[in-house]
Structure 1
Amino acid sequence: MTTYLYDVARYLPEKRVPASYFAQFADNDKLAGNVMFAAPEFRHHAADDETSADMMVSAARVLTARHGEDYLDDVSVVLTHSQLPEVPVHGCGGELAHRLGLRPTTVLDVHNGGCAAVAHMLDLAGALLRGAGGGRALLALAQNSASQIFTQEQVRGSAQAPIPGDGAAVAIIGLDDVSASPILNVVCHSFGQFAGDMVAVAKPSRKYWEAGPGQLHIGFTEARIAKVLARGNRMVPEVAMEVADSVGIAPTEIDWLITNQPNRIFLRNWREALELPPQRHPDTFDECGNLFAVAIPLTLDTAVDDGRIVPGDTVMMSAFAHAGDFAGAAMIRWGGRR
């Protein structure tokens, strides 16, 4: 039973932050100059009181403005992914469903997909809908750590601080509209042996739930960066090639490649590995920075809006997560907004 993507929508916070904001705080971080941390020109920061659910609701309202207030009425599955869940233990799926007036049978907060969460969520939602024999799923993703983690006084001068941005995106999938965009295949792989290579640190050291003077951030080292670069360079093209092969399309024949967007070096290496020119690899990095899981649906929505992606085009979405503990890809044939 084929799963279809009906539409996607995006939201960016109003606050647009230039690279100069971080430049004024730059300290003697020994990782400055590393290719992983070449800063984008801009990124957006969520407002102080703006939550993951707030941003997801804003993105979902784009869909209802576009298609009508009843567009979400048939949603039976709600999947959410927040980069930084505000509430300990559980995520914001229940709040999102309530605020949108939904009565789903399944609400699931998907935390471990990382930057490849879209592939993970497409896979999960498709299985849930097929198991139920119908319905629609709302996939909602928010990246909310840029303004909360990377502007902290002890973190904002580091090389990693200017890279992330905040934003949200949503997508609707289902089984019943053959005029929508068929999901040709989804492939996901877990690499648990690498799960311990992405860590949160503070100085002095503490567990993240313990009180203390040190502000949490990502624990990058030269050795960890080398591992992440090697794995990411390999994983994203490999999983994209696996999906392309499964549907009988050569990678060079893909109309559009959309990936997660951690930095420019990955973007270049991935499209070169798949032998695709830059103009067929849309990115929003210089406007939005690293949006983590939000990057793929937001960039897809952007490229549809500006007319690059048109009905009939094949779109490969491929990503890896964290330090390489997860990778996923999905291919669609764009059918227009439905």
Structure 2
Amino acid sequence: MSLYSKIIGTGSYLPPRRVTNHDLAAQLAEKGIETSDEWIVSRSGISARHFAEAGVQSSDLAMEAAKRALDAAGLQPDDIDLIILATSTPDFLGGFPSTACVVQRKLGITNGCAAFDVQAVCSGFVYAVSIADNFIKSGANKKVLVIGAEVFSRILNFDDRGTCVLFGDGAGAVVLSASTEPGILATKLHADGRHADILCVPGKPSGGALEGSAFLVMDGQAVFKLAVSVLEKVAHEALEAAGMESAQIDWLVPHQANIRIMQSTARKLHLPLEKMVVTVDQHGNTSAASIPLALDQAVRDGRIKPGHNVMMEGVGGGFTWGAVLAKM
């Protein structure tokens, strides 16, 4: 009998503070930086985003999303036997202890299950699901909690209108369970370190101090060009691996980075835009949290139903990209 992994619960959480483009434009105007709602929407499709309050960390957002995913799955925290958390904004400098371990503690999980972080920036959730899928199919685990959580507002340079208007904070989670029914149909992951400089945080810890900048820097045009190219290809790779065609996709849940990239990908897959889940307008780019946030919203509002085929795909700094094709 074949063993599969299947998504049995989704959850998400946004910090309460909602920041509109008008709010951000007013804040930047005080610094002498000009922007507007029209300028931001026309370039990104973003109208608002959520920012965490001071003292709120990625693990806090992750814990809330995880609780909701566990509730949806009908599980208790100690039913989980592996935690994988994707983030580029871990609770601690250097990434240890891992934010996954912090979440394990905050959820009250005391069964000694493994927990670790994954760093693939905006592709992190796709990477984490692929890893979880392989752990389950190997027989090593039965119930895996996969989380994407970010507080990107902490690494934004609010003197750079080209990047500070694009990102937001949030967390999303899924529970993957061992199943005799097909769930995760195919995953494909890629990276190309030659493009590491087009999206990065170049600062480094050195002797207890920061060497370089702790702010995100991005070559927007280079990222756009590469993203449009690789997203179509990796989606077709996942479809081919599953023996399916794009017409069999019920929903496209792409990384919520830029509406133009998302629409371009849908068109290249010959999917009507009505089949694409869009949250970038209200969430901004929440990096590793964006796909599970969008997935949970579409599950909870009834668009994504059991049996639907869902294509999830993302690109991120590294440069990384990947896709997960799942039957819900």
Report the TM-score when normalising by structure 1. Answer: 0.85
Given candidates 319, 322, 325, the residue that maps to 1:328 is 322
1:175 aligns with 2:178: yes
Q: Tell me, which stretches of 5 or more residues in structure 1 are unaligned?
A: none
Mapping of residues 94-133 of structure 1, within 5 Å: 94-102=101-109, 103-111=111-119, 113-133=120-140
Cα distance in 2 between the residues matched to 1:213 and 1:246 = 44
Question: 3-state DSSP class of the match of 2:306?
Answer: coil
Given candidates 286, 294, 297, the residue that maps to 1:299 is 294
Is 2:85–2:116's contact at 8 Å kept on the other side of the alignment?
Answer: yes
Cα distance in 2 between the residues matched to 1:173 and 1:87 = 27
Which deviations, in whole Å up to 9, do the C-alpha atoms of 1:308-331 show, x marking residues without a partner?
A: 1112211011111126x2111111
CA RMSD of aligned residues (A): 2.7
Is 2:10–2:73's contact at 8 Å kept on the other side of the alignment?
Answer: no
Cα distance in 1 between the residues matched to 2:230 and 2:42 = 17
Question: 3-state DSSP class of the match of 1:315?
Answer: strand
Aligned to 1:286: 281
1:6 aligns with 2:2: no
Is 2:99–2:116's contact at 8 Å kept on the other side of the alignment?
Answer: no
Which deviations, in whole Å up to 9, do the C-alpha atoms of 1:238-266 show, x marking residues without a partner?
A: 10111112222211331111100111211
How far off its partner does 1:301 sit? Answer: 0.8
Aligned to 1:194: 195
Q: Tell me, which stretches of 5 or more residues in structure 2 are unaligned?
A: none
Is 1:208–1:216's contact at 8 Å kept on the other side of the alignment?
Answer: no
Which deviations, in whole Å up to 9, do the C-alpha atoms of 1:18-49 show, x marking residues without a partner?
A: 1112212155589x969995361111111111
Cα distance in 2 between the residues matched to 1:107 and 1:214 = 31
Which range is displaced more, 122-131 or 295-304? 122-131
Is 1:37–1:160's contact at 8 Å kept on the other side of the alignment?
Answer: no
Mapping of residues 22-171 of structure 1, within 5 Å: 22-24=24-26, 25-26=28-29, 27=32, 37-38=43-44, 40-66=46-72, 68=74, 70-89=75-94, 90=96, 91-102=98-109, 103-111=111-119, 113-146=120-153, 148-150=154-156, 155-156=158-159, 158-171=161-174
How far off its partner does 1:161 sit? Answer: 0.9
Aligned to 2:261: 266
How far off its partner does 1:225 sit? Answer: 2.7
Which deviations, in whole Å up to 9, do the C-alpha atoms of 1:185-239 show, x marking residues without a partner?
A: 11111212222332335xxxx746675799632223xxx3332122100111110
Letter in 2 for 1:168: A
Aligned to 2:230: 235
Is 2:204–2:210's contact at 8 Å kept on the other side of the alignment?
Answer: no
Percentage identity across paired residues of the two chains: 24
Is 1:15–1:44's contact at 8 Å kept on the other side of the alignment?
Answer: yes
Is 2:69–2:175's contact at 8 Å kept on the other side of the alignment?
Answer: no
Q: Classify 1:176/1:72 alpha carbon distance in 2 versus 1 (closer, same or farther; 3 Å).
A: farther
1:219 aligns with 2:221: no
Letter in 1 for 2:108: G
Aligned to 2:17: 15
Question: 3-state DSSP class of the match of 1:14?
Answer: coil
What is the aligned residue count?
317
Q: Classify 1:303/1:286 alpha carbon distance in 2 versus 1 (closer, same or farther; 3 Å).
A: same
Cα distance in 1 between the residues matched to 2:71 and 2:48 = 27
Question: 3-state DSSP class of the match of 1:217?
Answer: coil
Judging by fraction of residues, say which structure has more helix.
2
Question: 3-state DSSP class of the match of 2:183?
Answer: strand
Question: 3-state DSSP class of the match of 1:3?
Answer: strand
Aligned to 2:312: 317
Which contiguous aligned blocks of 4+ residues in structure 1 show a shift greater than 6 angstroms?
A: 212-215
